[in-house]
């Protein structure tokens, strides 16, 4: 099989999340299986190709499967997607690639989900999976923050997240804002408020690297084991399948060995700026 072959995906709807971020719901023909935390290479005809997390559990609907991708416009390709891709557009998708979150290993344990900004995208399918398999996990804490409330994703789902039995959703905004009734400060500061059995808990963490570093420091201070902290890393990618070396991270390739890593496996690289 040619690893670079695309499937054609029809964009069925576009949901505006924040001033610079949309969720694109696409339809692929046939069965499409992906684990929470995996990503696709998204190709926009004539524009280029980028890695993007799959931000929903795949939903089989008769002859096709529906999945979401949530994309923040930050550069050439993502901005062009923001401006030019709409319902009815066809995009290319190849994947799923990478290692997902260790949801099987986490069974029977408390779960702490920590996300910053667009970092909630690869964790949204985790939350959907927990909702569908609630009995498999202990207490669930979801900590989510952004620079400002307007940059938080999936606001229309928070009520649902909060109503998952034996779980808590804690929101934060770095800066105060009118009408904001949640925490003001960094999302990583919320770690001290969670009710969790650190001896039997697993943490899934995704966000900007500075935020993840601060989160890891606070988690270790609170007594979480290094091997129970999982982080999703981002690097530039080209092939997405471990052939070109663009995404090298120490002796790992993020596309093939990650993007989800146990912190204990990557500790020596995690603190090196710009690696
Ligand atoms: C596994 C994985 C999953 C991802 N999931 C998502 C997602 O769900 N939603 C989303 O919005 N984005 C996601 N990204 C990031 C996304 O791939 C980049 O934003 C995109 O490639 C930028 O392309 P561009 O042409 O628009 O920007 P460019 O013009 O190429 O770059 C704009 C700026 O972003 C920086 N940058 C670009 N790509 C990366 C990268 N991979 N790592 C660090 N800095 C980068 C550049 O250095 C530059 O400063 C993911 C990346 C990876 C590796
Ligand atoms: S992107 Fe080519 S090796 Fe990872």
Could you report the per-residue pLDDT of 31-42, keeping only the tens digit for each?
Answer: 999 999 999 999
Examine the pLDDT at 26 and tell me if it is beyond 80: yes
Q: Rounded to the nearest whole angstrom, what is the distance from the C-alpha of residue 238 to the centroid of ligand 1?
A: 11
The pLDDT value given to residue 232? 98
How many angstroms separate the Cα of 145 from the Cα of each of 16, 101, 116, 184, 230?
18, 20, 5, 9, 18
Nearest residue (by CA) to ligand 1, atom 20, is 50
Ligand 2 atom having least distance to the Cα of 237: 1
Examine the pLDDT at 275 and tell me if it is beyond 90: no
191 sits in the region (left: phi over 0; alpha: psi -120 to 50; else beta) called: alpha
Q: Rounded to the nearest whole angstrom, what is the distance from the C-alpha of residue 235 to the centroid of ligand 2?
A: 9
Pocket test for ligand 1, best of 36, 121, 236 (most atoms within 8 A of CB): 236
Could you report the per-residue pLDDT of 108-151, keeping only the tens digit for each?
Answer: 999 999 999 999 999 999 999 999 999 999 999 999 999 999 99
Could you report the per-residue pLDDT of 146-202, keeping only the tens digit for each?
Answer: 999 999 999 999 999 999 999 999 999 999 999 999 999 999 999 999 999 999 999
Q: Rounded to the nearest whole angstrom, what is the distance from the C-alpha of residue 160 to the centroid of ligand 1?
A: 29
Q: Which residues of 24-34 are buried (b: 16+ CB within 10 A; e: fewer)?
A: bbbbbeeebeb
Given a contact cutoff of 8 angstroms between Cβ atoms, the answer to whether 203 and 114 are in contact is yes
Q: Rounded to the nearest whole angstrom, what is the distance from the C-alpha of residue 236 to the centroid of ligand 2?
A: 8
How far apart are the C-alpha atoms of 118 and 166, rounded to whole Å? 25
Could you report the per-residue pLDDT of 213-272, keeping only the tens digit for each?
Answer: 999 999 999 999 999 999 999 999 999 999 999 999 999 999 999 999 999 999 999 999
Pocket test for ligand 2, best of 240, 250, 259 (most atoms within 8 A of CB): 240
Nearest to 113 by CA among 176, 52, 191: 191
DSSP tag of 6: P
Examine the pLDDT at 25 and tell me if it is beyond 90: yes
**Model's pTM, two decimal places?**
0.96
How far apart are the C-alpha atoms of 125 and 123, rounded to whole Å? 5
How many angstroms separate the Cα of 162 from the Cα of each of 113, 149, 204?
13, 17, 18
How far apart are the C-alpha atoms of 43 and 26, rounded to whole Å? 13
Measured from CB, residues less than 6 Å from any atom of ligand 2 are 237-240, 242-247, 253, 255
């Amino acid at each position: 099989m040619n690893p670079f072959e695309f499937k054609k995906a029809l964009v069925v709807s576009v949901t505006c999340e924040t001033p610079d971020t949309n969720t694109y719901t696409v339809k692929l023909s046939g069965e499409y299986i992906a684990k929470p935390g995996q990503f696709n290479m998204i190709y926009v005809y004539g524009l280029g190709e980028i890695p993007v997390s799959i931000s929903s559990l795949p939903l089989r609907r008769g002859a096709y499967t529906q999945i979401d991708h949530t994309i923040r416009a930050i550069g050439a390709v993502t901005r062009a997607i923001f401006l030019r891709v709409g319902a009815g557009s066809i995009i290319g998708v190849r994947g799923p690639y990478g290692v997902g979150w260790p949801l099987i290993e986490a069974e029977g344990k408390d779960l702490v989900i920590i996300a910053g900004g667009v970092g909630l995208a690869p964790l949204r399918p985790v939350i959907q999976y927990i909702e569908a398999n609630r009995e498999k996990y202990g207490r669930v804490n979801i900590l989510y923050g952004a620079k400002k409330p307007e940059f938080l994703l999936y606001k229309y789902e928070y009520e649902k997240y909060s109503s998952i039995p034996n779980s808590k959703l804690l929101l934060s905004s770095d800066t105060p804002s009118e009408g904001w009734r949640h925490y003001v400060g960094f999302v990583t500061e919320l770690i001290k408020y969670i009710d969790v059995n650190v001896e039997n808990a697993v943490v899934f963490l995704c966000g900007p690297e500075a935020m993840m570093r601060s989160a890891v420091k606070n988690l270790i201070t609170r007594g979480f084991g290094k091997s129970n902290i999982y982080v999703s890393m981002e690097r530039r990618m080209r092939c997405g399948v471990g052939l070109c070396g663009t995404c090298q991270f120490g002796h790992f390739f993020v596309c093939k060995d990650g993007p989800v890593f146990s912190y204990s496996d990557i500790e020596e690289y995690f603190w090196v700026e710009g690696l």
